[in-house]
Structure 1
Amino acid sequence: MPISAPERSLLEVAGLEAGYGKIAVLHGVNLRIGAGEVVALLGPNGAGKTTLLRSMSGLLPVTAGSVTFDGQDLSRASPRDAARAGLVHVIEGHRVFTQISVADNLLLAGYDLPRRERSARIEEALSYFPEIAAKRHDRGGALSGGQQQMLAVAQGLVRRPRLLMLDEPSAGLSPVLVDRVLGVVSELRAKGTSVLLVEQLIEKTLAVSDRVYALAQGRIVLEAGAKEGDLPHRLEHAYFGQDVPTALHA
């Protein structure tokens, strides 16, 4: 069955290669994300998912291929350039400043914005997470692990991204908080924000996604619509089958 392609691609990744020193991790990755689309990026541990996000956001040099965001070449862009273009990466692991307040964490996320604009965006970001809005004067280190994850996502939202890349936002969270964070993904899509979601919770991730890519051994091994009925079996086969890579194109 042909995959429904996005009407307009916001992000185009073509032939992307990246790694660490002499260790190549990504091998010719092709990926696209449409405006207002939620795309899941799934794969076993060590598949290269985090490396792919880091290379797209400028945290890791691209050794070959291209990253194009809304027509702009970001292949050699810095993380600051990518964020200013509207591509925001929330990295794995609750990376917040523990010694300063929730509000100050968010102020730092919008450090280069005019003061009035920054204040408005902070309130907008906090509106997604009432749990941390009520603790805006508490130190980041006083928050629970789940609340720190919410704060990390809120930091990304302060940038008012056009594409938000979330690297395993559910890691270490209770089921209730997982649902809260993934509920925000659905809210963002409803407002036209694109999301690239890296997750291990396949069923919950597919429920909020439009399309899915599977990555294994640094290569895209499957592309499909997120609501296709046989997808869990196909994902398992793509990860561990003997005939990968198998790319399904629109």
Structure 2
Amino acid sequence: MPISAPEPLLEVAGLCSGYGKIAVLHGIDLRIGVGEVVSLLGPNGAGKTTLLRAISGLLPLSSGRVRFGEVELAGTDPRVAVRQGLVHVIEGHRVFTQISVTDNLLLAGYDLPRRERMQRVEEALEYFPEIAAKRQDKGGALSGGQQQMLAVAQGLVQRPRLLMLDEPSAGLSPVLVDRVLGVVRALKARGTAVLLVEQLIEKALAVSDRVCAMAQGQLVLEARADEDDLPHRLERAYFGQDVPTALHG
């Protein structure tokens, strides 16, 4: 049986999705509790990014349900998810290069009163001193790593209840990787849940409560992040020796 999560915040059941006629996800069941950090691991092409896109409403479901808090998200506009506090930071540096760092963050809170937006911008910048010092610089003047931090900060402006991060360490130096994952720890301490897609397995496990592994569009393993034999179980799951019905931990 899957490991139970405290105070369920996100509940995904029987989720199937893909791109047009190409089915990618096959009956995903996933639960994340309030304030819980869950790492979603798996080889390239396993369906991790597709799952995040389906949860946030960027991809339609062919079947299944996504419940966030008291709201059913399946079939709704992605803005509904954001208003409920589910924020998805898409893989890659999705920032506006021709406007300032501050204006990038103000746009992330476009639906808030201006005074509230400014307060949220300052809160987000507290996590990233490197970009706070460049708040008047254009997004395009930032390094790739700084743009990645800005993308995460854009998500924080929404004060998410659940932040989904799709490979936030991609292209970052080791120092900046630690900075971004330090933000995950800080968010957890404040009661924010995080669903983290990450290739740096050891670093991901260090900030996580649980880990879920995907292969070929299915969840093939769920475990506590501190299990002693987890690396071996992950290797077995990736190479198809574990199956979804064999979850334990």
**TM bracket (short chain):** over 0.9
Q: Is the partner of 1:75 in helix, strand or coil?
A: coil
Map of 2:221 onto structure 1: 222
Map of 1:204 onto structure 2: 203
The TM-score, its normalising length taken from structure 1, stands at: 0.97
Map of 1:112 onto structure 2: 111
Map of 2:238 onto structure 1: 239
Q: Is the partner of 2:123 in helix, strand or coil?
A: helix
Counterparts in 2 of 1:22-61, with a 5 A limit?
A: 22-61=21-60
Map of 1:161 onto structure 2: 160
Amino acid at match of 1:131: E
Residue deviations 1:123-146, cap 9 Å, x none?
000000011001000000000111
Map of 1:74 onto structure 2: 73
Q: Is the partner of 2:61 in helix, strand or coil?
A: coil
Q: Is the partner of 2:60 in helix, strand or coil?
A: coil
Q: Is the partner of 1:121 in helix, strand or coil?
A: helix
Equivalent residues of 1:91, 1:167 under 8 A apart? yes
Task: Report the Cα offset of residue 150 of structure 1.
Answer: 0.4
How many residues are paired up? 249
Residues in 2 aligned to 1:79 and 1:135: alpha-carbon distance in whole angstroms: 30
Q: What's the % identity of the aligned pairs?
A: 78
Residues in 2 aligned to 1:249 and 1:116: alpha-carbon distance in whole angstroms: 48
In structure 2, the CA distance between the partners of 1:201 and 1:60, relative to structure 1 (3 Å rule), is same
Q: Is the partner of 2:6 in helix, strand or coil?
A: coil
Task: Report the Cα offset of residue 116 of structure 1.
Answer: 1.1
Q: Is the partner of 1:64 in helix, strand or coil?
A: strand
Residues in 2 aligned to 1:88 and 1:247: alpha-carbon distance in whole angstroms: 31
Residue deviations 1:94-115, cap 9 Å, x none?
1100010000000100001011
Task: Report the Cα offset of residue 79 of structure 1.
Answer: 1.4
Map of 1:85 onto structure 2: 84
Equivalent residues of 2:35, 2:188 under 8 A apart? yes
Gaps of 5+ in 2: none
Gaps of 5+ in 1: none
Task: Report the Cα offset of residue 246 of structure 1.
Answer: 4.5
Task: Report the Cα offset of residue 76 of structure 1.
Answer: 1.1
Map of 2:10 onto structure 1: 11
Map of 1:184 onto structure 2: 183
Equivalent residues of 2:14, 2:27 under 8 A apart? yes
Residues in 2 aligned to 1:146 and 1:58: alpha-carbon distance in whole angstroms: 27
Residue 195 (structure 1) aligned with residue 183 (structure 2): no
Task: Report the Cα offset of residue 7 of structure 1.
Answer: 2.1
Amino acid at match of 1:204: K
